Amino acid sequence: MPENPVWLVDASIYVFRPWFVRQPIQQDCEGNPVNAVLGFLRFVYNLLQTEQPQAIAFAFDTSLLTSQRKAIYPGYKGNRSPAPSELKLQFQLCRDFLDALGIVQTASQHHEADDVIGTWVKQQRENGQACMIISGDKDLAQLVGEHDIWWDYAKRQALPKGGVKREFGVWPAQIPDQLAIAGDVADNIPGIPGIGMSTAAKLLQKFNTVEILLSRIPEIGQMKTFGAKRLQGLVEKHQDAVRLARQLTGIYCDVPEIPTDLRRGDKDLGRLQALCEQLGLSEQQFTLWAKI
């Protein structure tokens, strides 16, 4: 593990996971469901208690009416339903709780959380600072540099640069190309039908980038791999889809107007206690949060 890294958390997935665990439905003092909040707070408490980060920031997604990727491809994330109102309330409570803890949290009105984290990674790298990128989204593995880690916390093994290569078959910088070839169902990004992540990795091991691959399509059929001629035909047929997808899979690292000082600040104990009471947490639980 890097020494004294900055912890950058892709927050939304750690809210969505407990949201889908619907039994039993826990409610706050006003009868609103708070199962997602409480699950998220368990994750946060464990992270703070175990890792004791001095600098940590959480990036949230918001419902973007317009975005750079949707302008390129209107179908981007078109397979997702809008978040229900009760989940939006829980997201806000998660953000309020982090504020009360003196922890940096933000969301951009024009960019996704991935791009916020990418911008933070770029800023920290320029300062010579290593980053722990906490996310269940493999897209963010593309940000891993020589001293960084990608980690789906408490779910998977922490992966440095070489670990990303072992896990996905490509180097971090090649992840956007791999996703452009194979597609990304989660984001409704089209790829090449019949080519998955492992086959995409084989192509990139030979050609390195999508740009080189598409400039040397006839060579695909000469590869010593099963179905090489079929692969050549698929890439040739769907090369426009790959070019489109590659515009969507890279993370934008220049989001303006986001916090730059990611050190933990002072807690607002009054606000923290009020939130604990709203969520039905005990006085003992409040004391634990106040000390962490």
- In this structure, what CATH number is given to the domain that contains residue 232? 1.10.150.20
CATH number at residue 28: 3.40.50.1010
pLDDT digits (tens, 9 = 90+) for 18-60: 988 867 778 888 888 999 999 999 999 999 999 999 999 999 9
Q: Is residue 46 part of a domain?
A: yes
Could you list the residue range(s) of the whole structural domain that residue 177 is in?
A: 172-249
pLDDT in tens, 230-274: 999 999 999 999 999 999 999 999 999 999 999 999 999 999 999
One domain, residues 103 and 160: yes
Q: Does residue 129 sit in the same domain as residue 188?
A: no
In a domain, 116, yes or no: yes
Q: Are strands 6-10 and 131-134 parallel, antiparallel or unpaired?
A: parallel
For residue 279, how far is the Cα from the chain centroid?
27
274 shares a domain with 210: no
Q: Is residue 1 part of a domain?
A: no
Sheet with 104-106: strands ordered across: 104-106, 56-59, 6-10, 131-134, 149-151
> In this structure, what token pair is assigned to residue 62?
């918001």
Confidence (pLDDT) at 22: 67
Can you tell me the distance from the alpha carbon of 62 to that of 283, in angstroms, rounded to the nearest whole number? 32
> Are residues 21 and 103 located together in one domain of the fold?
yes
**pLDDT at residue 1 is higher than 80:** no
Q: Are residues 221 and 79 in the same domain?
A: no
CA atoms within 13 A on the CB side of 218: 0
Number of domains in the chain: 2
